[in-house]
Chains A and B, each alone.
Chain A
Amino acid sequence: MAATAPALRPVPQVIAHEVTAEPTRARWTEWFTTTDHKKIGILYIVTTFAFFLIGGIEALLIRLQLGAPNNTLITPEHYNELFTLHGTTMIFLFVVPMMAGFANYFLPLMIGARDMAFPRLNALSYWLLLFGGIVFYSSLFWQPPEAGWFSYTPLSEHTFTPSGGQDAWIYLIHITGISSLVGAINFYATIVNMRAPGMGWGRLPLFVWAILIYALLLILALPVIAGAVTMLLTDRNFGTHFFDPTQGGSPLLWQHLFWFFGHPEVYIMILPGFGIVSEILPVFARKPIFGYKAIAASTVVIAFLAALVWAHHMFQTPVPTVVLGFFMLSSFLIAVPTGVKIFNWIATLWRGNIEFKTPLMFCVGFISIFVVGGITGIFLAVFPVDWQLTDTYFVVAHFHYVLMGGAVFTIFAGLYYWYPKMTGRMLSEPLGKASFWLMFVGFNVTFLVQHAAGLSGMPRRVYQYPADAGLTLYNQISTVGAFILGLGILLSVINFIRSLRRGAIAGPDPWKANTLEWFTTSPPPVNNFDVIPRVRSVEPMKDIRRQVERQSGIEHAETAGQPVTFV
């Protein structure tokens, strides 16, 4: 409908209300007692980002060890500890709670609520996360866990891993699990009950759709892992034999329970990222999202199928062919809604007027990386091919393409997009772009060759490889890439810290965005909104801007030359 509009229409700034500065100066103790969803959101984001940096340092140590054949820098014991810490940290202490952090801050704002449904439960959920992380990392002073983030039995049983680090891992799963479960119930209750007037399910922002499904998946999957790790805990400490084959237990039972949680967990990690991208692309393409209903529906379909694909992690275990076939087909099926999302995102960019700001670049980077991870996922779903590829560096490359793309790049997109709202300051664009390019190039240099390393026969989780195996060059390239990637992340960290004081003042709506969080000041006051507007579409801010244009007497450009009706 805008095809004939004149181009240089100034977009009016919306200042919906005035808020005076808070009367008393905020004291630091407030960070410990707060139940404000925005403060809790910031606590979440800062804490999980710190864990991300720790996990990143662990990854660099792993890459250093593999940078040369027969390297003796790190002992096999410490190497196993490092990849266990790295995987566990990135999944349980970074991606999942980081998404909860974004949801905490922006979900109430996006749906026009004044806080979460249960503010004190919300605080509990953050503090459980922090204490879970502390319990886990305190094992560094004794003996960290070393059986991998998946802790396969019987290796993780007391007989083979007697150290308390394994128990610390179990407590981490328990404590962060309760934290996520409580948070998920809170998100669900908030979304269902506290939406602004007029915000039906068809007008819910796509990020909120993603968080709704994220919450449902957590509620579905977490009790299963909680049960499984409890069984492991009693096996290790109280003499039960759930997973002990010498006493009638089953090691495969652990794998079924773990992956029944573990695969939905993958979607728990990337669906909110999909939501972030679905919010950012339309803003910077200056176009509505292409196929809102299809994107929302594909989120639901992905969640449903996510609970039916777990045994594709177990193709090489003793399972009958009919099971292999079923899980191959279900894994194929999940590629369809995922593909639909990718097509819809590209169609959103198509014929847009794309402004290359850092958040958009991270989104486009995400799509291009995630496509590779999706395609290699099809290779792995074909079980005879998986027999060659599983447990090799091909899989390592695959899930880093999925999760670095689907989670890390989308999280950075979200940080760059929402930082002005959270702090009231803009981030530096040149620094942001430099960080993006270093991360994008570094990522691909690190992980693209890992496909080849896996195809050449390099298994996962080996602390050494021989010099004559033809793996040296691949690993050296990968190690160099990891440091480029690390440098890119460092630039963003500098940007985040520096812009706190030096950044340009953002104003309420620097991006001219579509959703309600931009209706209030940056950062928003304690109760978010003085007036909650009536929502008339998926893009309430566009409607509000249009209304302001009309009321301020500036003719709306799209109706130029047409009779104007004043409201």
Chain B
Amino acid sequence: MSRIRAALRPESSFRRRLVAALLLATIGSLVFASGAFAGFLTPESGGSPNADQIHSLYKIILYIAIVVFVVVEGALLYSVVKFRARRGRVAAQIHGNTRLEITWTVGAALILVVLAAVTFSKLGSIQNPPNSDANGLQFASTTEPTPPNGKKLTICVTGRQYIWRYTYGANCSSNAFGLPYSYQEMVVPANTTVVLDLQSTDVIHSWWIPQLGGKFDAVPGYHNYTWFKAPHAGALYRGQCAELCGRNHADMTARVSVVTPDQYQAWLAAQKARIAAANSQVIQLRQQLTADGIL
């Protein structure tokens, strides 16, 4: 220990205290102010429990990171200011200090062990969907992944250059026949666990609504899953494709509109009617064109 101290011999205890106080003040102000910086210092959240859990996991890492940052950059700044060349100073010819080196290696490893433990303890709440609330819509379904009571709303999200299509209902990936669908804007009931089955028909796209959780790729030939449970009816969340998918990648936007379960049922029925009406319009148009001799 005395060898370590000799290697790190301080020059003035007053200045050291001053530096320490400044560091603490910086850390403190950053830590306590960070709540006010959503989207600036922390990722977006507030639309779904998984987004909230990622947000809190991020904040834990941020606090540790700030401490590491201040300590390492502080030590660097202190060394280059304190030990700049002066007449009469001779550099200490130190070749190393095994104990000190082992200490900081183990120290760095310990921080990472803590981070790993925190991550795995939070993983369940991020990865596994919870049950829908009592005031949400109640469904029964069999596809992966599933909340404990097995009840959820499944929506197939299909990416293609450059628009998202949403097909509503269980088994949408195996048999979408007759199921209602929409493009661009997804409508979901509040307080209901919504499981998304992500697919693509052409290139890789990535589904991302920042406030509803992390992004997941829609890869052609694969199924990828994520979920969210939005508590606020009336909220509208925006996002866009996050994986380069071609020239109009930037224009592949998406919206999620959260409504009450009753409004959702009504919207679903209306959407079915609109799809049916559009189909019969196509039939009429075709008959008209045929009659006019164009087809």
Contacts and interface: CB of A to CB of B under 8 A. Distances in A.
Interface string B219-239: 111111000000000000001
B104 A340 contact: yes
Contacts of A164: none
A349 interface: yes
A542 to B, nearest CB: 10
A389 B54 CA distance: 10
B139 interface: no
Interface in B165-187: none
Nearest to A319: B224
A90 to B, nearest CB: 17
B91 interface: yes
Contacts of B248: 76
A316 B249 contact: no
Interface in B19-64: 39-44, 51, 53-54, 57-58, 61-62
Interface in B117-149: 119-120, 122-123, 126-127
A455 B76 contact: no
Contacts of B104: 339-340, 343
Interface stretch (A32-40, A172-180, A429-437, A462-470): A462-470
Interface stretch (B188-196, B199-207, B257-265, B276-284): B199-207
Contact of A352 (B44, B92, B240): B92
Interface residues of A, number: 91
Nearest to B247: A76
B210 A155 contact: no
A257 interface: no
A290 B206 contact: no
A375 B115 CA distance: 12
B147 to A, nearest CB: 17
B241 interface: yes
Interface in B49-106: 51, 53-54, 57-58, 61-62, 65, 68-69, 72-73, 75-77, 79-80, 83-97, 100-101, 104-105
A455 B249 contact: no
A353 B58 CA distance: 40
B127 A3 contact: no
B42 A455 contact: yes
A340 to B, nearest CB: 5
B256 interface: no
A452 to B, nearest CB: 5
Given A384-B54, A384-B119, A387-B214, A288 B40 contact: no
A332 B89 contact: no
Contacts of A340: 101, 104-105, 108
Contact of A378 (B44, B115, B217): B115
A382 B61 contact: yes
Nearest to B8: A350
Contact of B220 (A2, A80, A246, A383): A246
Contacts of A8: 87-88
A252 B243 CA distance: 14
A293 B101 CA distance: 11
B242 A252 contact: no
B122 A316 contact: no
19 contacts: A3-B92, A7-B88, A76-B249, A285-B83, A288-B95, A316-B216, A328-B116, A344-B101, A349-B76, A349-B80, A353-B83, A353-B86, A379-B61, A384-B57, A385-B58, A388-B51, A391-B215, A457-B39, A464-B250
Interface of A: 1-3, 5, 7-8, 76-77, 80, 146-148, 152, 154-155, 159-160, 245-246, 249-252, 285-294, 316-318, 321, 325, 328-329, 332-333, 335-336, 339-340, 342-344, 346-347, 349-356, 364, 367-368, 371-372, 375-376, 378-379, 382-392, 452, 455-457, 459-465, 470
Given A246-B221, A251-B204, A351-B7, 13 more contacts: A2-B92, A80-B246, A154-B220, A291-B96, A350-B79, A351-B91, A352-B92, A354-B79, A354-B84, A382-B119, A384-B127, A386-B214, A464-B251
- Which A-B residue pairs are the 8 nearest by beta carbons? A387-B214, A245-B221, A462-B250, A286-B91, A291-B96, A351-B92, A349-B79, A388-B43
